[in-house]
Amino acid sequence: MVKLPGDIKRFTKRRRNMSKKVVVLGSINVDTTYHVERFPQPGETIAARSKSSAPGGKGANQAVAAARSGAQTAFIGAVGSDSEGDYMLEALKENAIDVRHVAIDQYHGTGSAAVTLDANGQNDIMIYGGANQALTTDVLAGAEDVLDGADFLISQFETPQAVTLAAFKLAKKHGVTTILNPAPAHDIIPELLQYTDVIAPNESECALLTGIEIADEESMLKSAEYFRSQGVSHLLVTLGSKGVFYATPAGHGLVPAFKVKAVDTTAAGDTFIGALSSQLNDDLSNVAEALVYAQRASSLTVQQMGAMPSIPTADQVQAALVE
């Protein structure tokens, strides 16, 4: 088990003065959340207590999390030529995110998600890919300016893997560390792993990609061996309330989760990834320490409603760490 650093105040002060440059390639969605007491059974109609809309999408959430934790953040993606696209571009700009490489798709609408949220804070999500799924490698034209000098490039599976593969190859030309969040889970292009430095699945995603059921430390170490054989040096497996398991060339361990009462888990994983990227050293030498920060950021997110609106700032995370 990894203990919280005893000198966490010194740690957070140091991180404030070390701004990272993060690029996110990914999805942009408008989230509509239906608040219910419980999830409906197949064929059942139930009443929603209320409905709300907020900016979201795994890519956009991760970018906002990185930016709010102090990283210089740029985004590569697409929105539709519609009011939702205008809304999402403004949301990113309000968080000081560089949107010069967000394309305007004239043929597909802005991505959207329908979220059903129950009284326990658990959710079901249906996603319309729209401009996200229509993304092509053309979006990378001219993107070398944001990759040049970047520390990290993050991507997920809500945009085509072929675009991520091309972007990761481009990142490697510029010495950029690549982080892959393989969510939502599905089969992966094998070549993509060869260009991935850090992979961060949850338990089910990890099992799907490796064929190894996550049951204990031994199974997670076997998963790490699998990913290393494919070219991925760092594995982070998010385990919900149990924390995060990490395996790196320097060692492995479990960073425990912070115990809080969740009211909405929608952007928990995205906050974790974005916040993590803002804290990691370029050589990934401080994984355990950065995971503490990322876990704390995620724990604050689940205590608020909505995806992007619930993502904390660096000051909020740092204050929570020293409580």
DSSP 197-255: SEE--BHHHHHHHHS----SHHHHHHHHHHHHHTT--EEEEE-GGG-EEEEETTEEEEE
The answer to whether residue 253 scores a pLDDT higher than 80 is yes
Structure tokens at 230: 């494919």
Q: Given pLDDT bands bounded at 50, 70 and 90, which one contains residue 10?
A: very low
* CATH number attached to the domain at 8-321: 3.40.1190.20
Q: Quick count: other Cβ atoms within 10 Å of Cβ 173?
A: 10
Structure tokens at 52: 């709300």
Element (H, E) at 67: helix 58-68
Contact 113, 56 (CB under 8 A): yes
Contact 48, 103 (CB under 8 A): no
Size of the chain in residues: 323
Q: Quick count: other Cβ atoms within 10 Å of Cβ 113?
A: 23
Across the range 189-205, mean pLDDT stands at 96
Across the range 8-35, mean pLDDT stands at 75
pTM: 0.90
Across the range 5-21, mean pLDDT stands at 52
* Cα distances (angstroms) measured from residue 267 to each of 210, 225, 250, 309: 25, 29, 30, 9
Phi-psi category of 267—alpha, beta or left, where left has phi over 0 and alpha has psi -120 to 50? alpha
- Identity of the amino acid at 307: A
- Binding-site residues for ATP, in ranges, read 202, 238-243, 269-270
Tell me whether residue 270 is one of the annotated catalytic residues: yes
Among residues 270, 282, 283, 315, the one annotated as catalytic is 270
Q: Could you tell me whether strands 177-180 and 72-80 are parallel, antiparallel, or unpaired per DSSP bridges?
A: unpaired
- pLDDT of amino acid 85: 97
- pLDDT of amino acid 166: 98
* Cα distances (angstroms) measured from residue 195 to each of 42, 78, 168, 231: 41, 23, 6, 7
- Binding-site residues for K(+), in ranges, read 264, 266, 301, 304, 306, 310
Where are the extended beta strands (E) located within 65-184?
72-80, 98-105, 111-117, 123-128, 152-155, 177-180
Distance linking the first and last C-alpha atoms of the chain: 21
- Binding-site residues for substrate, in ranges, read 29-31, 57-61, 158, 270
- pLDDT of amino acid 266: 79
**pLDDT by residue (tens digit) across 128-165?**
999 999 999 999 999 999 999 999 999 999 999 999 99
Q: Indicate the domain borders of the chain.
A: 8-321
The answer to whether residue 9 scores a pLDDT higher than 60 is no
- Residue 168 and residue 177: Cα distance in Å, rounded? 9
Residue 312 DSSP code: P
Q: Given pLDDT bands bounded at 50, 70 and 90, which one contains residue 4?
A: very low
**Which residues have C-beta within 8 Å of that of residue 285, sequence separation ≥ 6?**
250
